[in-house]
Amino acid sequence: MRVAIVNDVPLTTEALRRIVLSDPRHQIAWMAADGEEAVRLCLGDRPDVVLMDLVMPRVNGAEATRRIMQDSPCAILVVTAGVATNYHLVCEALGHGAYDAITTPILGSRSPAEAGAELLGKLSVVDRINRRVTQMHLSTPADSKPVAPSSVAGSRMPLLAVGTSTGGPLALATILGALPADFPGAILVVQHIGPEYAGCLVDWLRVRTPLTVRAASAGDVPQARTVLIASSGDHMVLMADRTLAYVREPADYPYRPSVNVLFQSLARNWPAPGLAALLTGIGRDGAQGLLALQEAGWRTIAQDEASSVVFGMPRAAIELGAARHVLPLEQIGPFICKHLRPSLVKLT
């Protein structure tokens, strides 16, 4: 892959350059010392992936991510030294379209390949996703359309399931911020993000919704007025006893945690139809799972193209016929409030 590096510290830039080049499959497209230069270089030479620092002079990494995704979209991986002090910027960059985030590797006495093993692993994932996106574009059916809406009769505690990736944090904040404090349903969320950043996403969302937001742990049970967010490098699933668990398989799936895996487990194990939404994101993760939920009687939503940072995941669902409703982001929260209603029958 052609990799661009954006960082204002020369020693860090050199370390990242050596790590990238330690894998012969990669080459350096260009290097920039701040966000403004990165935006300009991306316009003239779009790389396969950008390694984006956050705290830089002139234009920070979050704003640079926004401009790049608007004018010359490509995969962006946040590489930052201070997660705890910069988690607001991390979530802002993810909301604008960065794919994932990672702590800046330090070479020390180790070889570039050893010190940068995690970063190189992230680059391999981006490469696999880029290839899948290319294959998706080559094999997209032209005549698939969303199916007509149908009513869903709920008979248990309402459940809302949400899957998203690129651009997801801001989309989640918009939807969750539109839900009232007495929202009657339980909410499960899969956002493609490294487990080390799941906590910062939880903190960031907590101040943007009146609901309780926390990282999901194995053994948790979905609860009304509570948002549980997948927080592991493994896949979050609902078990037959209606508790949450994390599973490794499918181990070779590039999206971790996977929206498909959660949605398919809900189709098998949740006792009554709920509502599921597939939001902005690169690739196809979630489309097959959304179809499984639709076939199980769930009301299904895909975010529309105009309001998506990246239209890959919603488009895949629409083309598969898995989305009964295609809505702009601002309408999804009110739609959920209108159609996801509590039941008079307790879980049995």
Instruction: Please give the helix or strand (H or E) that residue 215 lies within, else none.
Output: strand 212-215
Which ranges in 271-339 belong to alpha helices (H)? Answer: 287-295, 312-320, 329-339
The CA-based angle 31-37-43, given to 5 degrees, is 90
- Which amino acid, one-letter code, is at 61? G
Closest C-alpha among 156, 196, 161 to residue 175: 161
Question: What CA–CA distance (Å, rounded) separates 155 from 346?
Answer: 8
Residue 317 · residue 286 · CB < 8 Å: yes
* Number of helices (H), then strands (E), in the chain: 12, 14
Question: What CA–CA distance (Å, rounded) separates 225 from 160?
Answer: 11
165 is catalytic: yes
Going by their DSSP bridges, the two strands 275-278 and 299-303 should be labelled as: parallel
- The answer for residues whose C-beta is within 8 angstroms of residue 219's C-beta and 6 or more apart is 243, 244, 245
- Secondary structure of residue 186 in the 3-state scheme: strand
Q: Which of 165, 232, 258, 265 is catalytic?
A: 165
Closest C-alpha among 7, 91, 92, 16 to residue 57: 7
What are the phi and psi torsion angles at 5 (to 5°)? -120, 130
- The answer for residues whose C-beta is within 8 angstroms of residue 26's C-beta and 6 or more apart is 1, 2, 3, 20, 123
Angle between helices 287-295 and 312-320 (to 10 degrees): 40
Q: Which of 192, 235, 308, 325 is catalytic?
A: 192
34 is catalytic: no
Q: Which of 285, 307, 308, 325 is catalytic?
A: 285
Place of tokens 């899948």: 132
Active centre residues (catalytic) = 165, 192, 285
